[in-house]
Structure formats: C-alpha cells, structure tokens
C-alpha cells in the first residue's frame, strides 16, 4: 500500500519538475497511476471485504510514537475505488479540457499528489497518519484553487479555503492528541475497540467534528467551497465535489458508530448538517453560474450525508455510504458536463444558455440522468439510496434528534429537487434566451444569449467521462440489489450490523416512498412557482464570506498596527529593549538563585594571557570613547584578536582559529559598510539621555560578568567532557574532540546552525535581487532603462542571474 502512495507522490514530483515542459504526457502519466491503483484495489477487493485486506505499519519517528498505519478495509476499498476511479476519468477528461498548455505538468502533479493524499486519508488507521494526509489534501487543494495564480480572486479564494480547512485541521489534531493522551490509543481501530468516555472525550470529539465540518464545507464554514470554484472545472469536479470534501464525512463515518451515542455528538452533527443542507439549498436557487449553483448544491448534499453518517445507526450509516457513492457519481458527472458546456460555449451563465439539448446531445443526456439521480427520481441510484436514507431515518429510534433530522432532511430534499430542476433546465431546457435584465440583475452583467448553432461540437473523448459517470448512476440504480449487497459488505467494516442491509429498486408502497413522492411533488412546485424570479436574480454576497473577510482584514490590520507600534525602525531603540530584557531576566535569575561561592576564574599564570586580557579591555574601552565609526570598528576588531590570544593560551586552538577568522571577515565587512556611511556616529536620540544609556550598558556588563562567574560554579552533574574525550577516537574516528563534537556528538546543533546560516545567506541574496528589481522597474517607469546592454548581458551569467 505504501508503495502505491509513494508512486503517487513520485509521479507528482515528476510532473511538477517538468515545469514549462510539462504537457499532456503528464496527465497521461497521472492517469496511468490512478488507473493502476484502481486495478490493484479491484484485485484486493475480495480480501478487503472479508476483513483480511493488506495493512501497513511503518515506524516513522518511534521516539514520538509516530508511525504510518494504513489498512485496507471494506470502506477504505470503496472510497479508494471512488478516488482512483473518478481520478482516472477526470485526468483523461482534462486532456481534452485543457488542450495544449504549458502548465499541465503542474496541474497533473498537483492532482496526482492530491489523489495520493486522499488515498492516505481513506486508508489511514493511525490518527496522526490521518492528520498528515489530511493536511496534504488541504495544501494541494490550496494550490489547485489558486491554479490560475494571476487572478487575484482565485488567490483570495485559495487562501480563504486554506485558512478555514487548515484551522479545522488543527482543531482535529488537538482532538486526536487529547484522545491519544487520555487513552493511549493511536489508531482508530484501537479507539473503536475500547471507546473512552467522559468530558475530555467529548471535547476531543467536538474538536474532531470541527475539523470534519471545515473540510466538508459544513455551515458555518461552508463559504469556502463556492469560492473554490475559481479552480479549473476538472479540479472542482474531482476535489470539491467527488473526493476531498468527502474527507470530513470519512472521518465522521469512521467515528460515528463508536461515538454517536456519546454526549453532544448527534445534536452537533444534525444541527450543522441540516443548516448546511438548507443554506446550501437556498443559495443554489439564486445562482446563475451553473458551476456555482452546483457548488452550493454540494454544500447542501454534504450536509445531508453528514446527518446520515453522523447519526451512527446501522441503517443510516449504510444509507449514508450508499448515498456518498451516488453523490460522487452524479455530482462529478454534472460538474464535468458543465465543464464541457463552458468549454464549448464560453459561458456558464444560465441566463445566456439555451437550445443546448440539440447542440450537445450527449451532454444533455448525461445531465438529465445525473440530475435525475441528484433529485432522487426513479430508477436512478440517487432514488434508491434516498429511499434507504428516509427508511433509515423513519426507523431510527434515537429520540428527538431523529425526528428533527427527518423533518430537516425532508425540507432540504424539497429544495434539492427544486434547484436540481432549475440547473438542468437552465443548462439545457431554455427554449428562448431567458432573461431580460430587471432590478435584481447586476448592471454590468453580460446577458447576450449564446447562439446554439455556433456551439463547437466536443470530441467523443471529452464527453466520455461525464457520460460514463451518468450511465453508472443509472446502472447502479437498476442493479440496486447486487450493488447494495456489495456496499453492505464494504460498510460492514464501519459497523458490522450493516452487513444484512440491502438496496432495492422498488420497495413497494411504504412510508418512505410516500414521503419521497411528496418531496418530489413539492420540489417541482417550488421550482415552478419561484421560476420567474430565479431566472433573473443575481446571487448576493454570502454573509459568511463578508464576516470572514471582515475578521481576516481586522486581523491583518491589527497585526500592522502592532508591528508599527513595536517596530519603530530605530536601531538604538531595539538594542535598548534587547539589552534591558537581557539584564533584567538574567539579573533577576541570578539574584533569585545566587550562589554563595564565586570562585575566581582560572588564570594560566602566563604573562601572555595577562597582556592579552589587558589589551582586550583597553581596546573595548576605546570603542566606547571614540567618535569615529572607523576607529570604533578597528578597535573592536583588535579587542577580538586579543581575545583570540586568550583562547589560545587557555588551550583552545579551534576556538582561537575561528575567532581570528570571524574577526577578520567582520572587520572587512564593517569597513566596506562604513565606506558608505558618514564617518562619525550619529548623535544619540533624544529619548535616551546619557545616564539611561550608561545605566543600561553598566547593568548588562555587570550581569553578564556575574553570570559568567557563577555559571562555572553552577554545575550539579558531572561534565560530559570526559565522556566526549574518551569516545572521540573510537566512536567517531577523530582525535580533535572539538570538531567531533561539532560534526558528530552534537551534529544536530551544527545542522541547525548551518540551516540558520543558509537562510541568512539566501536572505541577503534575495534582498539584493528585490532591490535590483525595484530599481529597474523604477527606471522603466521613468522611461530611462539606463542599463547598457553590456552590463545586462554580463548579468545573465553566474551570480548575476
């Protein structure tokens, strides 16, 4: 299993590194990987359904009890088939959708990387494994929403989605950590085997649910999902309808059978799910952009699934999983169809589209079937599963929460039927160009109708993916019996009681069917009576988005103010703060824990050392009194050299060498900087009178000296120095113990230090580059790009790139 995941990430790396050379082959490569995964899953399906699917358990960081735990159970198999199957179709569809572009490597790389991460989520057993893959999907989703990175709106939508799902992910991590520390269980299966209870568990579960809600776009976190439609349509179809937004549902589905009866779980899930169901449904009625209408519909249906899977009874879990499959099929089909329409007509505005049923017959058929499945009209799979859901809710004996769920879902389903018809009719059915502008229409909206005769005919490969998905929606409905049994076996890994559940195409006249009929009738009526208004109305701004933006802007504004307050830009001010803090913190610690005995430092009694110490001190005093920057730099360097001699006499040649070299380079750099500055120090700032500066300096000097003396007395454990000396040669093969400590015993520290150094160096180079770019821009604005060609050509080589 792990090698399959690694194959995804390796393919992602290959596609991404193709850079501008990436082309269609990248999509083919990615499709090959997902198709292979699909094939492997099919080959493993027997074992996985019997409960003997492959498992992987790799120690990752054993010290932190971090490991990668994967297992292929029935549910993981089912979700894996959806992820890899729809992934393959979407990638093949993308070949036609994007045509020839030079950023397909990036697209394919991100998509296949996402597919790998998503498989990780559905196969994960370890809680932290789940979290890692969870965050990976957030990151790839962020990059894919912002794929058209030159559009500011796309970047804003990507950031919004990332912050929301990222915050939710952190909440979930906190929940996982609480669960792990209170029970010691690190995997979902361990938790299910011995479920914890109590207040702390409830807190943890609420946190986990928050994570699931943000990812699955549940109210009040739903607003990022419509924004995510800034992504190219194949991406929206794959991530933001069929797979990624199901990640929250996956977590809920895995937790609910164990924890649904625990504390506030059911109410929490039902309230959030129903709110999403209704809010999404209402907003889908107002959208004129078919893709956005579908996105709001997705929010709505994710709410439905959240309620079903969250209730955690065997019947609702089974119905929820079946509906999840149905939703993945019809929603991907609809998104991909809208993509074809957009591609061939240049618009997704339902006010401009008409007569497409004749112009795009295959698309029209796909949309009709998929919409029928979405509105739960027989004999589609959507109808079969909705029946099961209503049945499960009617039979669920879980008290008031079950009744609320049933009523809410019935109302939401009415909306679902209404907006489904609206979208289908809007895309295909308008005979005449629909709307004339009215009071609700945005003034700058382009409403010119699209001429159906001028619509480009899509190639067969382009429409194959949506058509196949739509046909599957139909076949699964007609073959409800066997499909239902298969899903029952798969769902048994969530809750063994679901193994006896079945799906049927025609249940006979029963309560659920009557309810369904009423829902469809009410939905059609709702669509018909709101039609005059919904044909022209323009979508309003989402209130949640407005509030989010306000919060976000406020946060940035607050950060700017805080920065302006604390970062005055005055170097003396910074130094004053840093040094005062040092003196106060160190000084108070010393006073609190002052040791009685301060022994005098160890002198070597060498006259050289005596002279060197004197010189160091004298030069340091000189630095304070000179007014010339140049003299100060030289005196400081001299003081450093003298100190190096002290090191040498004390028997630390490595230290001395380094001190000499650093001092030399520092002086040179100092002087190079000083050549560009006035020769004398600037006058001291008014806010820091002489006594204050003297006071701070004296305090720092005394504290640091005191600290140095008492630190040598503070040892309570034996020194590790002896061990290092003894181990240096045999363990690390070096006789210079200082060096061996640096590169071996304490090599991690050196690693960190050189990383800091590398970042500083990279920072210097990039500052230079940024300054150069700005100056050049300024020159271009002035119309006098003064750089002669000769200099410009030199800059293309080496450091001057």
Partner 1 sequence: MRQAPKYSVVLAATVNGLTPILLLFSIFITLRGHNAPGGGFAGGLVMGSAVILRYLTAGPAGVRSLRFDPIALIGTGLVLAVSVGLTSLIFDDAFLESAIWKWHAPVIGDVKIVSSSIFDVGVHILVVGVVMAVIVAFAEADDEMGGRT
- Site residues, partner 1 (CB under 8 A): 653-654, 656-658, 661-662, 664-665, 668-669, 672, 676, 731-736, 738-740, 742-744, 747-748, 750-751, 754-755, 757-758, 760-762, 764-765, 767-768, 771-772, 775, 791, 794, 797-801
Q: Minimum Å distance from CB 269 to partner 1?
A: 43
Is the CB of 581 or the CB of 739 nearer to partner 1? 739
User: What one-character-per-residue DSSP string does 419-437 give?
Assistant: HHHHHHIIIII-SS--PPP
**Could you tell me if 68 and 60 are in contact, meaning their C-beta atoms sit under 8 angstroms apart?**
yes
**Cα–Cα distance, 638 to 658 (Å, whole number):** 15
Q: Minimum Å distance from CB 671 to partner 1?
A: 10
Is the CB of 9 or the CB of 265 nearer to partner 1? 9
Q: Minimum Å distance from CB 790 to partner 1?
A: 10
Is the CB of 607 or the CB of 798 nearer to partner 1? 798
**Cα–Cα distance, 114 to 243 (Å, whole number):** 10
Is the CB of 621 or the CB of 760 nearer to partner 1? 760
**Could you tell me if 539 and 348 are in contact, meaning their C-beta atoms sit under 8 angstroms apart?**
no
Q: Minimum Å distance from CB 67 to partner 1?
A: 16
- b/e map of 587-619 (b: 16 or more CB within 10 Å)? beebeeeeeeeeeeeeeeeeeebeebbebbeeb
Is the CB of 584 or the CB of 758 nearer to partner 1? 758
DSSP 785: -
Q: Count CB neighbours of 379 within 10 A.
A: 14
The CA-CA-CA angle for residues 569, 571, 577, to 5°, reads: 100
Q: Is 508 exposed, middle or buried (0-12, 13-18, 19+ CB in 10 A)?
A: exposed
Q: How far is CA 47 from CA 2, 27, 35, 54, 93, in A?
A: 17, 31, 20, 8, 32
Q: What 3 state SS string does 680-739 have? A: ECCCCCCCCCHHHHHHHHHHHHHHHHHHHHHHCCCCCCCCCHHHHHHHHHHHHCCCCHHH
**Could you tell me if 230 and 90 are in contact, meaning their C-beta atoms sit under 8 angstroms apart?**
no
Is the CB of 10 or the CB of 35 nearer to partner 1? 10
| Cis peptide bond N-terminal to 220, omega within 30 | yes
Q: Dihedral through CA 269, CA 270, CA 274, CA 280, nearest 10?
A: 10
Q: How do beta strands 66-71 and 55-61 pair?
A: antiparallel
Q: Minimum Å distance from CB 750 to partner 1?
A: 7
Q: Minimum Å distance from CB 619 to partner 1?
A: 22
Q: Minimum Å distance from CB 788 to partner 1?
A: 10
Is the CB of 62 or the CB of 601 nearer to partner 1? 62
Q: Minimum Å distance from CB 615 to partner 1?
A: 23
* 651 φψ region: left (φ > 0), alpha (ψ -120 to 50), beta (else): left
User: What one-character-per-residue DSSP string does 524-536 give?
Assistant: HHHHHHHHHHHTT
**Could you tell me if 31 and 109 are in contact, meaning their C-beta atoms sit under 8 angstroms apart?**
no
For 480, the 3-state DSSP assignment is: helix
Is the CB of 63 or the CB of 716 nearer to partner 1? 63
Is the CB of 513 or the CB of 738 nearer to partner 1? 738
Q: Minimum Å distance from CB 679 to partner 1?
A: 14
Q: Minimum Å distance from CB 740 to partner 1?
A: 7
Is the CB of 268 or the CB of 630 nearer to partner 1? 630
Is the CB of 604 or the CB of 739 nearer to partner 1? 739
Is the CB of 768 or the CB of 777 nearer to partner 1? 768
Is the CB of 3 or the CB of 605 nearer to partner 1? 3
**Could you tell me if 737 and 725 are in contact, meaning their C-beta atoms sit under 8 angstroms apart?**
yes
> What phi, psi does 470 have (nearest 5°)?
-65, -40
Q: Minimum Å distance from CB 646 to partner 1?
A: 16
The helix (run of H) or strand (run of E) holding residue 262 is none
**Cα–Cα distance, 202 to 182 (Å, whole number):** 12
Is the CB of 584 or the CB of 677 nearer to partner 1? 677
**Could you tell me if 536 and 438 are in contact, meaning their C-beta atoms sit under 8 angstroms apart?**
yes
Q: How far is CA 230 from CA 89, 92, 240, in A?
A: 21, 21, 11
Q: Minimum Å distance from CB 791 to partner 1?
A: 7
Q: Minimum Å distance from CB 106 to partner 1?
A: 22
**Cα–Cα distance, 387 to 394 (Å, whole number):** 10
**Contacts with 112 (C-beta within 8 Å, 6 or more apart), sequence order:** 8, 11, 12, 15, 29, 30, 33, 34, 87, 91
Chain position carrying tokens 């990615």? 30
Q: Minimum Å distance from CB 177 to partner 1?
A: 25
Q: Minimum Å distance from CB 733 to partner 1?
A: 4
Is the CB of 346 or the CB of 763 nearer to partner 1? 763
Is the CB of 660 or the CB of 707 nearer to partner 1? 660
Q: Minimum Å distance from CB 800 to partner 1?
A: 6
**Could you tell me if 356 and 434 are in contact, meaning their C-beta atoms sit under 8 angstroms apart?**
no
Is the CB of 617 or the CB of 763 nearer to partner 1? 763
Q: Is 672 exposed, middle or buried (0-12, 13-18, 19+ CB in 10 A)?
A: exposed
Q: Minimum Å distance from CB 58 to partner 1?
A: 14
């Amino acid at each position: 299993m792990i090698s399959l995941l690694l194959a995804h990430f390796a393919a992602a790396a290959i596609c991404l590194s193709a850079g501008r050379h990436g082309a269609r082959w990248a999509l083919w490569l990615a499709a090959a990987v997902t198709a292979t995964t699909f094939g492997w899953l099919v080959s493993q399906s027997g074992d996985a359904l019997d409960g003997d699917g492959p498992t992987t358990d790799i120690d990752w960081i054993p010290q932190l009890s971090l490991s990668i735990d994967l297992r292929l159970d029935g549910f993981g198999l089912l979700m894996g088939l959806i992820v890899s199957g729809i992934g393959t179709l979407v990638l093949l569809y993308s070949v036609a959708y994007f045509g020839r572009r030079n950023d397909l490597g990036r697209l394919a790389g991100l998509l296949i990387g996402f597919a790998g991460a998503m498989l990780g989520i559905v196969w994960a057993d370890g809680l932290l494994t789940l979290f890692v893959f969870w965050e990976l999907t957030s990151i790839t989703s962020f990059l894919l929403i912002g794929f058209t990175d030159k559009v500011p709106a796309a970047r804003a939508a990507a950031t919004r989605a990332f912050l929301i799902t990222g915050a939710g992910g952190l909440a979930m991590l906190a929940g996982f950590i609480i669960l792990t520390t209170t029970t010691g269980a690190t995997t979902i299966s361990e938790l299910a085997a011995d479920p914890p209870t109590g207040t702390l568990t409830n807190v943890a579960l609420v946190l986990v649910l928050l994570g699931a809600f943000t990812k699955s776009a549940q109210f009040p976190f739903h607003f990022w999902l419509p924004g995510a439609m800034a992504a190219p349509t194949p991406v929206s179809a794959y991530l933001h309808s069929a797979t990624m937004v199901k990640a929250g549902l996956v977590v809920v589905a895995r937790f609910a059978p164990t924890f649904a009866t625990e504390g506030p779980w059911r109410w929490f899930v039902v309230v959030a799910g129903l709110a999403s169901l209704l809010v999404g449904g209402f907003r889908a009625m107002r959208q004129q952009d078919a893709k956005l209408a579908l996105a709001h519909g997705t929010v709505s249906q994710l709410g439905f699934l959240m309620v079903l899977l969250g209730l955690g009874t065997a019947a609702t879990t089974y119905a929820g999983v079946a509906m999840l499959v149905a939703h993945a099929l019809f929603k991907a089909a609809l998104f991909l169809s809208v993509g074809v329409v957009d591609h061939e007509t240049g618009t997704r505005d339902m006010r401009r589209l008409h007569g497409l049923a004749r112009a795009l017959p295959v698309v029209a058929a796909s949309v009709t079937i998929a919409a029928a499945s979405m509105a739960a009209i027989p004999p589609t799979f959507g109808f079969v599963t909705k029946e099961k859901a209503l049945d499960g809710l009617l039979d669920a004996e879980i008290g008031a929460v079950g009744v609320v769920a049933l009523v809410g879902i019935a109302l939401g389903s009415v909306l679902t039927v209404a907006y489904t018809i609206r979208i289908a009719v809007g895309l295909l059915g308008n005979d005449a160009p629909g709307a004339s502008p009215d009071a609700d229409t945005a003034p700058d909206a382009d409403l010119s109708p699209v001429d159906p005769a001028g619509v480009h005919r899509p190639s067969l490969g382009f429409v194959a993916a949506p058509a196949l998905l739509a046909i599957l929606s139909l076949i699964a409905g007609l073959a409800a019996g066997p499909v239902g049994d298969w899903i029952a076996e798969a769902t048994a890994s969530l809750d063994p009681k679901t193994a006896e559940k079945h799906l049927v195409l025609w249940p006979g006249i029963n309560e659920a069917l009557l309810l369904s009929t009423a829902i469809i009738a009410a939905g059609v009526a709702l669509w018909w009576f709101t039609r005059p208004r919904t044909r022209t109305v323009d979508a309003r701004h989402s209130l949640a988005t407005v509030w989010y933006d306000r919060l976000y802007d406020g946060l940035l504004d607050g950060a700017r103010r805080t920065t302006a307050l604390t970062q005055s830009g005055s170097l003396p001010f910074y130094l004053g703060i840093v040094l005062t803090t040092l003196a106060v913190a160190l000084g108070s610690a010393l006073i609190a824990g002052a040791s009685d005995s301060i022994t005098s430092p160890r002198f070597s009694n060498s006259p050289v050392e005596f002279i060197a110490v004197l010189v160091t001190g004298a030069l340091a005093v000189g630095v304070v009194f000179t007014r010339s920057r140049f003299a100060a730099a030289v005196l400081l360097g001299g003081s450093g050299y003298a100190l190096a001699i002290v090191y040498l006499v004390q028997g630390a040649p490595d230290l001395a060498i380094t001190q000499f070299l650093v001092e030399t380079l520092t002086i040179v750099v100092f002087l190079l900087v000083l050549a560009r500055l006035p020769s004398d120090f600037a006058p001291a700032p008014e806010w820091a009178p002489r006594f204050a500066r003297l006071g701070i300096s004296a305090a720092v000097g005394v504290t640091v000296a005191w600290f140095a003396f008492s630190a040598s007395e503070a040892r309570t454990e034996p020194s590790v120095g002896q061990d290092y000396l003894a181990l240096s040669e045999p363990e690390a093969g070096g006789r210079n113990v200082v060096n061996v400590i640096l590169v071996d015993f304490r090599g991690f520290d050196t690693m960190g230090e050189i990383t800091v150094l590398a970042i500083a160096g990279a920072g210097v180079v990039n500052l230079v580059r940024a300054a150069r770019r700005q100056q050049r821009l300024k020159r271009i604005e002035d119309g006098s790009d003064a750089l002669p060609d000769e200099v410009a050509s030199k800059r293309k080589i080496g450091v001057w790139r």
